[in-house]
Structure 1
């Protein structure tokens, strides 16, 4: 009789565990992630969003198209992402990447030294010389940089305190090799 009870209790426990685990997976994949994706697509300039696993960790992959206010869009994404870090996928070109890399010296110096006015002047000058349109804003959380040239756009959110909310952006052309 005792063996039968242990067997029945074990089977019922496994069944309950399986139902709870299955419910959690359905909740995350259908309701939670679906809600995140739906809300993010209501932000101007966001084409699509999905939660993907990279190296065993989930992140929100946001495909963009001509975001006009990166600071506002990023704040909206931060509010709906929950605990998931966010990676923006933009439409960058090698030329925009090269210009952005050249700007890194002024950006890093501005962050370390705190001379943000000088940083903005230097970046504006570099953008003008390269023939690109620069949109640069900042708040207590991050520096928001957008480079535009024609239909191409490079987005970068440089966190000031290393919060880990925003991961480095990537270009849509390198998306296949990233995943």
Structure 2
């Protein structure tokens, strides 16, 4: 008699645990992600957002339009993303990527040496020579860089302390390339 009770109690416990776990997963995947995406789309400069699961890790992919203040957008995205890292997708061109790669030397040197004034001057000169409009901002957490040429734009958040909140930004074709 006690063996039957123990078996029934175990089965009921497993069933209840399964229901609670599936309810939690449903809440996180449908309701929470849906509200997170809806909130992010209300931010000026954000076209769309979605949650991607890649190699067992979850990330928030945010497609940007014409960004005027990257620092403000990133602050708002951090508030709503929770613990998920954020990856920005922009409308970059190979030319903008090349300019950005050339700027990496000054950016990394500025971060390592702490000479941000010299970094800004060097980046401004490089942008002017390339015919690119540059927007540069920074705070204690990151450097926010936007390179614009015509309708195309490259956005990048370079974390100063490697917090892992922002993943490297990518072009708009990121999702189709990595499925």
User: Which residue of the partner structure matches residue 41 of structure 2?
Assistant: 41
* Structure 2 residue 55 is the aligned partner of structure 1 residue 55: yes
Deviation at residue 14 of structure 1 after TM alignment: 1.4
Counterparts of residues 8-157 of structure 1 (less than 5 Å)? 8-157=8-157
Secondary structure of 1:9's aligned partner: helix
Moved over 2 A (4+): none
Distance 1:174 1:35, change over 3 A: closer
Secondary structure of 2:173's aligned partner: helix
With 95-104 and 166-175 compared, the bigger mean Cα shift is at 166-175
With 22-31 and 68-77 compared, the bigger mean Cα shift is at 22-31
Mapped partners of 1:154, 1:65: distance in 2: 10
Mapped partners of 2:175, 2:19: distance in 1: 36
Mapped partners of 1:24, 1:151: distance in 2: 43
* Structure 2 residue 155 is the aligned partner of structure 1 residue 159: no
Gaps of 5+ in 1: none
Post-superposition Cα deviations, 1:48-92, rounded to whole Å, max 9, x if no partner, equal 111111110111010111111000000000111110000001010
- Structural RMSD (CA): 0.9
TM-score between both structures, scaled by the size of structure 1: 0.97
Deviation at residue 173 of structure 1 after TM alignment: 2.5
Gaps of 5+ in 2: none
Post-superposition Cα deviations, 1:5-55, rounded to whole Å, max 9, x if no partner, equal 122112101110111111101110122111111111110011111111111
Secondary structure of 2:66's aligned partner: coil
TM-score between both structures, scaled by the size of structure 2: 0.97
Mapped partners of 1:25, 1:173: distance in 2: 29
- Number of residue pairs matched? 179
Mapped partners of 1:134, 1:178: distance in 2: 29
Deviation at residue 108 of structure 1 after TM alignment: 0.3
